[in-house]
Amino acid sequence: MRIKDDDFKFVIEGKDYHCAMDVAATFVGGKWKTIVLWYLKHGKKRFTELKAMIPAITDKMLSLQLRSLESDGFVSRKVYPEIPPRVEYELTEEGKTLIPLLDAMANWGINKANRHGEMVKLENQK
């Protein structure tokens, strides 16, 4: 990135990022990460709860996204020694720093949808 007449980059854990948006997109980019984070901002969730909230995601993709978010320090995973094992996911303190970003993205999405689409109620699917 260029600031005044000088070139800069960000370096995080040995990786180069050409600008702040590159950093943000790397850590929370893609279709699923922000959606998973959005639901975790409301509190602890089990894998099955997240899957029910995000029906279009596959089990494998949800698992991959949770592992990535955990690896990046945004999500913590707690396994309870029960039978069957219970696993809960929640935002870490670092993950909670993303809440203003998630809120801004959601507000933009609501405004975009209201301007160019409509909200449609889903019928109960039992």
pTM, full prediction: 0.86
Q: Which helix H or strand E contains 68, and what residues bound it?
A: helix 59-71
CA distances from 38 to 1, 26, 45, 53, 74 (A): 30, 17, 11, 11, 12
- The confidence score (pLDDT) of residue 50 equals 97
pLDDT digits (tens, 9 = 90+) for 67-123: 999 999 999 999 998 888 899 999 999 999 999 999 999 999 999 898 998 888 888
Q: Does the pLDDT of residue 126 top 70, yes or no?
A: no
pLDDT digits (tens, 9 = 90+) for 22-67: 888 888 888 899 999 999 999 999 999 999 999 999 999 999 999 9
- The confidence score (pLDDT) of residue 35 equals 96
- The confidence score (pLDDT) of residue 121 equals 86
- The confidence score (pLDDT) of residue 4 equals 86
- The confidence score (pLDDT) of residue 42 equals 93
> Which amino acid makes up residue 8?
F
Is 113 within 8 Å of 104 (Cβ atoms)?
Answer: no
